[in-house]
Amino acid sequence: MRYTHVIWDFNGTIVNDVEAGIKSENVLLARRGMPLIEDVDYYRSIFTFPIVDYYKKLGHDFTRDPYEKLSVEWTEQYAIFSREAKLNEGVTELLDWFRARGCRQIVLSASERGILLAQLRDLGVLDRFDEVLGLDNIEAYSKLDLAREWLAREKPGPMLLLGDTEHDYETARLLGADCILLTLGHQSRATLERLGVPVLDSFAEVRNIIDN
């Protein structure tokens, strides 16, 4: 195993919460008489980081609804809809595969840390991680500062980052980590393939790439 550390994104990578995200946002849009997100493909084509830019694409007017207010409202809805979200297929098996090879495994997420810990616990995988890194707020601007602080503190060996968005790719570059992106989450394959890293449809394929 050439990696000492595996960095996992959470939303869309560990947990299949795309539908929860869409349903949560559609509540906000419906309350304001705005066009709804009609399907997953459209959602994945416009989703981006920071989330404030995604909200702009949807047409939110921050002079009427400050982003901070929308964040609170969205989080309230997500707490309801995310109860139905499950682990992506193959996550547990890959976690165990890396653990058997002596890798330290870290969750690095733009989610608020308390919410993140609760979800990992409810999904039954919290004890499989050596460290859980999340934000101290619900506004999901970026996880680059978290990554930078962790890198300075941990001084890790060779790293692999598993994610599902351009922001995960940016985070991997900051860390100096290899990056594999999954099509299971919040951005389209077309978006991910522009980044020049492996883009896979399943976690089983991750093992094949690393073994080869």
pLDDT of residue 142: 74
Give the burial class of 116: count Cβ atoms within 10 A of its Cβ; 0-12 exposed, 13-18 middle, 19 or more buried: buried
Final residue of a structural domain among 84, 102, 127:
84
Q: Are residues 58 and 104 in the same domain?
A: no
pLDDT of residue 211: 77
pLDDT of residue 195: 97
Q: Domain with 10 in it: what CATH number?
A: 3.40.50.1000
Model pTM score: 0.94
pLDDT of residue 135: 86
Q: How many domains does the chain have?
A: 2
Q: Could you list the residue range(s) of the whole structural domain that residue 29 is in?
A: 18-84
Residues in the chain: 212
pLDDT of residue 150: 95
Q: Are residues 127 and 75 in the same domain?
A: no
Residue bearing tokens 């922001």: 167
Instruction: Tell me the sheet residues that pair with 152.
Output: none
Residue by residue, pLDDT tens for the chain (212 residues) are: 689 999 999 999 999 999 999 999 999 999 999 999 999 999 999 999 889 999 999 999 999 999 999 999 999 999 999 999 999 999 999 999 999 999 999 999 988 899 999 999 999 999 999 999 998 865 555 799 999 999 999 999 999 999 999 999 999 999 999 999 999 999 999 999 999 999 999 999 999 888 76
Q: Are residues 139 and 186 in the same domain?
A: yes
CB neighbour list of residue 70: distance below 8 Å, 6 or more residues apart: 28, 55, 60
**How many other CB atoms sit within 10 Å of the CB of residue 52?**
17
pLDDT of residue 212: 67
Strands 15-16 and 86-87, sheet pairing: antiparallel
pLDDT of residue 139: 59
Q: Are residues 58 and 149 in the same domain?
A: no
Q: Are residues 72 and 48 in the same domain?
A: yes
